[in-house]
A and B are shown apart, each in its own frame.
Chain A
Amino acid sequence: MKSYILKRILSLIPVLLIVSIVVFMIIHLTPGDPAAVILGPEASHEDVKQLQEELGLNDPVYQQYFHWVEGVFQGNLGDSFFMDKPVTEAILEHLGPTISLAILSQITAILIALPLGIMAARKRGTATDQTFMGLSLLGISIPHFLFGLFLIIILAINLRWLPVAGYKPLSAGFWEHIKYLIMPAIALGTGQAALIARMTRSSMVETLNLNFIKTARSKGLHERKVIYKHTLRNAFIPILTVIGQTFGTLVAGAAVTETVFNIPGIGQLIINSVERRDYMVIQGTVLMVTLTYVLINLLVDLLYGVIDPRVRLKKES
């Protein structure tokens, strides 16, 4: 297990290297001088010069890169030019809503996906199975921001059940907090649910055809136990992988959904910064979200060992 963890962590090094280079390059890919682009067309020549100096744009590119990476390791993502504060601070301010939304969406997704996927697998080939899988294909085909817009028209504008948009922090009370997140969570969770449900079904179907399921049945176990104990546990690794991946995309997908519902999260911070050409913030947030995504996937890989003894005990036997 130890060597498995170590190997997995070491494999992250090249990935992180590429990620950091790509993120660093964002500012340098812009056509024209970054400092001039940041300041806009009305800026004076002196201002541009000064900003170039501040951002270290006159150094050779590799030096700028090392300088930037050094900063990242010290938790310094630079300063937001527009907001006049450190990027880390801006990120922390916007973190709460995104985390709430991502967790709520993930819970929604899993609560929809697992029962439907398992049911479809148990009734494979029947009308129920085909209906569920048809629905899941529809779920994959609807962009979540679009689903969000439809939900607003139906649930908020026509039925007036829920507030159209906005956000209340948890400190405003649990229900207030949740009320504003229900639609975004459904919008974001449904598409992920479709992906998880499809993987659950196919993984369960594959496992149900394995011989040890026959053994479990021949012991006299109830079908419930065959499904939930013997099949699910074995089918869970691919399901968990998809859950991990969708959780990562949730954090990013929240960017668009937050715009739909005016939620002041990381997504909104990125989009606003793109409009303001606040490159330091774009770099910082893209880096942080991607790191989160990478770490979640790492965590999932490490969980394989917990689920499957063949992974855990590989090196010892």
Chain B
Amino acid sequence: MEVAVEKRRELSDFRRDINRERRRLFVRRFFSNKLTVTGSVIILLTLLVTLLGPLLSSYTPYEMVVTSRLKAPSADHLFGTDNLGRDLFARVVYGARASMGVGLSVAIITSVLGMIIGLYSAYYKVLDHVLMRICDGLMAFPAILLAIALMAALGTKIDNVIIALAAVFTPYVARVVRSAALVVREQTYIEAMKAQGASSMRIIWGHIAPNTLSPLIVYSTFIFADAIIIEAGLSFLGVGVPAPDPSWGNILFDGKLVIFNAWWMTFFPGVAIILSVLGLNLFGDGLRDLLDPHTNHAKK
């Protein structure tokens, strides 16, 4: 009796040690990769700017000063002013809310929907055929084109940008989750659980779902990045976030009209897009190498 308890304690200690060791190794490897760390720092800074935006600027992004239109960057206006005399720094900082907000919302929504669709198609064969054909059909559209078409149908509004992008990207996420789930589903222990009468709910969410998390997290980082790019594209085309609310894309739209005399209107929002997307891609790349060193190193 004593011995059994002792044994069990040893075993749980051992398990805890292993887990701690694993976490330590993960953290160490994470920080040993300079690119991943750079990526995380960039993302954290961008998120910080997004949240603290109003505190950083003494101007509001909407206040038009007719006398100070198209002023070049100076101490007064750090990034200069736009064609309507609005402070560009304030607009870029507030624009982060729209751009990062859309990106993050799309990443979260597609993860949830993609996970549900992916898990259930992996588990139920008939459902799989139907859902995957629909996914194939949606994936047959080039992403930006489907986004434009959906925006044309839904109307330009920031909520609709999120809906359109979620519709565009969910099939890709569902595919990733499904293929990870299929691997688990084929394992013998899942068959054994079924034979023992475990509910499908418990098998799907208790045993299959956790195994799809790491590819899902990596993939949603890339979706986050791609959503920022496509939102910028839509807003740049005038079918995304509508004026006067700033987003990096629609600042570029304004900037294009005055590209001959106001380079800063293109440069600053442009750099904001590149930095945030690069940060996410670096982070995602590093995370993938950490979580699954065997995957292809090309993106997607």
Contacts and interface: CB of A to CB of B under 8 A. Distances in A.
A and B touch in the complex (CB under 8 A): yes
Given A138-B278, A199-B298, A150 B270 contact: yes
19 contacts: A16-B140, A18-B133, A18-B137, A22-B138, A22-B141, A22-B146, A26-B152, A133-B297, A141-B277, A142-B273, A146-B266, A157-B263, A202-B297, A203-B296, A248-B142, A249-B142, A249-B144, A270-B148, A294-B140
B140 A290 contact: yes
Interface string A265-307: 0000011011101010010001001100110000000000000
Given A249-B143, A253-B142, A274-B151, A15 B281 contact: no
A15 B266 CA distance: 39
A251 B148 CA distance: 14
B229 A143 contact: yes
Given A26-B149, A201-B297, A293 B260 contact: no
A202 B274 CA distance: 24
A143 B234 CA distance: 11
Contacts of A153: 259, 263, 266-267
Contacts of B149: 22-23, 26, 282, 286
B256 A143 contact: no
Interface residues of B, number: 49
Interface string B4-30: 000000000000000000000000000
A260 interface: yes
B134 interface: yes
The 4 closest A-B pairs by CB, nearest first: A18-B137, A252-B142, A29-B153, A198-B298
B208 interface: no
Interface in B233-281: 233, 236-239, 252, 255-256, 259-260, 263, 266-267, 270, 273-274, 277-278, 281
Chain A interface residue bracket vs B = 35 or more
Contacts of B238: 271, 275
A255 B144 contact: yes
Contacts of B225: 141
A286 B145 contact: yes
Contacts of A19: 137, 140-141
Given A14-B136, A22-B138, A255-B144, 17 more contacts: A16-B140, A18-B137, A28-B153, A29-B153, A134-B35, A138-B274, A141-B281, A146-B270, A153-B263, A249-B143, A274-B148, A274-B151, A282-B149, A286-B141, A286-B145, A286-B149, A290-B142
B174 interface: no
Interface string A149-183: 11011000100000010000000000000000000
Interface of B: 35, 133-134, 136-138, 140-146, 148-155, 225, 229, 232-233, 236-239, 252, 255-256, 259-260, 263, 266-267, 270, 273-274, 277-278, 281-282, 285, 296-299
A299 B24 CA distance: 48
Interface in A1-43: 14-19, 21-23, 25-31
A220 B28 CA distance: 44
Contacts of A23: 149
Contacts of B281: 137, 140-141
B278 A141 contact: yes
B270 A152 contact: no
Given A271-B148, A271-B237, A146 B282 contact: no
A195 B298 CA distance: 7
A138 B179 CA distance: 29
Interface string A45-82: 00000000000000000000000000000000000000
